[in-house]
Structure 1
Amino acid sequence: MFLEFVNEVKDNIKHFLPGSYRNAEVFVMDYRKLNTTYKGLMVKREDETIAPIINMNQFYKAYQNQPGATMESIYRRIADVIMEASIQVNLKSIMDYDIAKDNLFIRVSSAERNKDMLVNVPHQLKEDLAITYHVDVSMDEKGLGSMLINNDLLKQYGITAEQLHEDAMKSSPHIMAPEVFSLGAMMEEMVEKDLFMMTSEEREMLQESIRKSAQMSSFFVVTNQQRIGGAGALFYPKMMDNLGEVLGHDYFILPSSIHEMLVLPDNGKISADELRMMVTEVNATQVSPAERLTDDVYYFDTKNHTFGKAERV
């Protein structure tokens, strides 16, 4: 059924696009991103060098689950996405390394879950986490557009993977500026944003749950200002050392999701195994597979300036 849906969209989507798409080519492909693979649809006009890749899995899910959804409504929604994303990227900003190097940033993902992709992608391992490198293509109110740097693009740049890493570490804090705050503050912010959508009873219940969470004030969130792919901010230059200086302790690091890391000062009251159980449970019940990092827990030793897996106790 899914492939029939995809092929039907492929055969009909141009009927819902402007005349400028009359001679466009329509492609269907298996598109791989960090942590996920999906069936992609691309509509590319003759004069275009880059075109958006539409996630057909998401549209099929919407078609199945939304009452009243018809194929025509799906065509129109896909056409809207294609036209909104059709603004062309200046290829020079990607292909010319003298320009691209100022727009590099890092992301972190599970090395195990992405092992097939990482064969063709320059990366560095931090235990079982992989740091990859991306070029910022566009950042506006709709979010972040970026391109993952693979081995072919690295070869085109004519630089080493080590140089790429060094340059990405310099530019990342400017492209994706880091943020650190208490988990309690983050929860309160979420409550404030959603207050107008809640009933008075829901507001009281949520705020009471925050007040009762004794541990929450001990956790700190490390992310970026966009709060998209922010787990990589932990690996910015001097970030872990600076955190240790501010906290005054060695600390545990919990891979909350690809968007943030949680930091907990080690006061001797909780073990690595207890935290590992917490991470595993949260991943299984609250974090989508596409946003999951690992089920492990990490540790930063402030005296030796070392990052590694937390010891099992």
Structure 2
Amino acid sequence: MLNFSEFQDYVKMTIPERLPEEYQGAQIRSHEVEKNNGLVLHGITVTPEDSNIAPNIYLDGYFKQYEEGKDLDEVLDQITHTVVEHIKAPEEFSNVAEKFQDFDFVKNNVVMVAVNTERNAKLLSQVPHHEIEDLSLIYKVMLGRDSEGTATITIRNEHMAMWGVTADELHELAVANTKEILPITIQSMNEVMREMFGKDGMPAEMADVMFEEMPPTQQMYVISNAAKVNGAASMFYEDALSELSKKVGTDLYILPSSVHEVIAVSTEMGTPEALSEMVREVNGTQVSEEEQLSDHVYRFDAAKRTLSLADTTMEELKKAAGAENLSVEPATEGSRPRHTHR
């Protein structure tokens, strides 16, 4: 059986001969891409002749299928099919490089995405961002959206320099644009379940019986955006949280379900410590590492219209991070332990 390195080399070597004749001259490159929370994925790009647009195919999932016993030729057929399906860029992406250099286009299409600050330290050193508690907002240019998801490019420091704009200017644009391009959605968990089972064919009458409305203080509310992608950034719209707080009748605790959505509950639903323990358990068992946002719970103070950590403080987090980075070297004969920072 091939190991992952051998698998990547074999794919790169054999894919050209599997492509249709019109793409035989395509250039194939392998590369690594750092995703959210430092997750590194391994992919190939297949660039047709006379094109500057190439599909990016990640091989990690395909290798897992191979590891689990799927025939190598079948896996390669899947990869080839994916390449061919995406090798022709949609017409709206044909001049993407030109559009991206034009700040008049960018300023109307920049949106914000929430990520965990500590887990994305390397990325944040390379991109403009805005820190809020243990999270950071980064900025992406929205190129398009369809039923399969959104097409975006992350704004990096060099892009900001090219346009001659500041991080504060990007933040202001992104806050306004995201509200319009990816409008916030707030649904009770009952509404979400009714919608889900309705799509599976459950009659509305049966759904009403199964998911009877509860008092607002006992209800969970899912906050995301219209695309249901990177919707956790919606938690930073105070107007929407204020309206929900009025409906519930109390301040809110915000539970970071994933980078795509958060859950709001009344502060009567439990203690921050108990809720954060639940968040940690869900993150550890049900949310992929790439999609995790935080292990901590936030409180929205309706009177002050502020969002802050509820189960801890930034001072405590920094203190804990400092303790983790402190190591003690074992003492050797005639010497004392020395403290070193990694």
The TM-score, its normalising length taken from structure 1, stands at: 0.88
Which string of whole-angstrom CA distances, capped at 9 and with x for unpartnered residues, describes residues 162-193 of structure 1?
Answer: 11111111111222121101012212322333
Match of 1:122 in 2: 128
Pick aligned residue for 1:173 from 168, 173, 179? 179
Match of 1:63 in 2: 66
Pick aligned residue for 1:111 from 114, 117, 136? 117
Give the CA deviation at 1:32: 1.1
Contact 1:111 1:129 in 2 (8 A): yes
What code does the residue aligned with 1:164 have?
Answer: L
- Comparing 13-22 with 149-158, greater Cα deviation is found at 13-22
Pick aligned residue for 2:155 from 149, 156, 159? 149
Pick aligned residue for 1:52 from 50, 55, 75? 55
Contact 1:222 1:233 in 2 (8 A): yes
Contact 2:228 2:260 in 1 (8 A): yes
C-alpha distance in 1 between matches for 2:5 and 2:266: 50
Pick aligned residue for 2:105 from 99, 102, 110? 99
Match of 2:20 in 1: 18
C-alpha distance in 2 between matches for 1:62 and 1:214: 46
What code does the residue aligned with 1:15 have?
Answer: E
Mapped pair 1:271 → 2:271:
yes
C-alpha distance in 2 between matches for 1:93 and 1:73: 38
What code does the residue aligned with 1:158 have?
Answer: G
Give the CA deviation at 1:50: 2.7
C-alpha distance in 1 between matches for 2:49 and 2:195: 47
C-alpha distance in 1 between matches for 2:283 and 2:216: 19
Give the CA deviation at 1:244: 2.8
Match of 2:300 in 1: 300
- Comparing 2-11 with 225-234, greater Cα deviation is found at 225-234
Secondary structure of the corresponding residue to residue 119 of structure 2: coil
Match of 2:337 in 1: none
Contact 1:179 1:224 in 2 (8 A): yes
C-alpha distance in 2 between matches for 1:270 and 1:155: 46
Match of 2:77 in 1: 76
Match of 2:43 in 1: 40
Contact 1:169 1:237 in 2 (8 A): no
C-alpha distance in 2 between matches for 1:103 and 1:45: 28
Give the CA deviation at 1:216: 9.5
Secondary structure of the corresponding residue to residue 102 of structure 1: coil
Secondary structure of the corresponding residue to residue 114 of structure 2: strand
C-alpha distance in 2 between matches for 1:264 and 1:307: 14
Give the CA deviation at 1:261: 0.7
1:134-283 superposed matches below 5 A:
134-194=140-200, 218-236=219-237, 238-267=239-268, 270-283=270-283
Secondary structure of the corresponding residue to residue 135 of structure 1: strand
Contact 1:112 1:128 in 2 (8 A): yes
What code does the residue aligned with 2:45 have?
Answer: M
Contact 1:93 1:99 in 2 (8 A): yes
Q: What's the Cα RMSD here? A: 2.6
Number of aligned pairs? 301
Contact 2:43 2:56 in 1 (8 A): yes
C-alpha distance in 2 between matches for 1:311 and 1:10: 48
The structure with the larger Rg is 2
Secondary structure of the corresponding residue to residue 252 of structure 1: strand
Can you give the 5+ residue segments of structure 1 that lack an aligned partner in the other structure? Answer: 197-202
What code does the residue aligned with 1:11 have?
Answer: M
C-alpha distance in 2 between matches for 1:288 and 1:232: 18
Secondary structure of the corresponding residue to residue 121 of structure 1: coil
From the superposition, tell whether residues 180 and 102 of structure 1 become closer, same or farther in structure 2 (CA, over 3 Å).
Answer: same
- Alignment identity in percent? 31
Secondary structure of the corresponding residue to residue 257 of structure 1: coil
- Comparing 241-250 with 21-30, greater Cα deviation is found at 241-250
Which string of whole-angstrom CA distances, capped at 9 and with x for unpartnered residues, describes residues 116-141 of structure 1?
Answer: 11110111111111111111122112
Match of 2:285 in 1: 285
Give the CA deviation at 1:213: 9.7
Secondary structure of the corresponding residue to residue 223 of structure 1: strand
Higher relative contact order (CA 8 A, sep 6+): 1
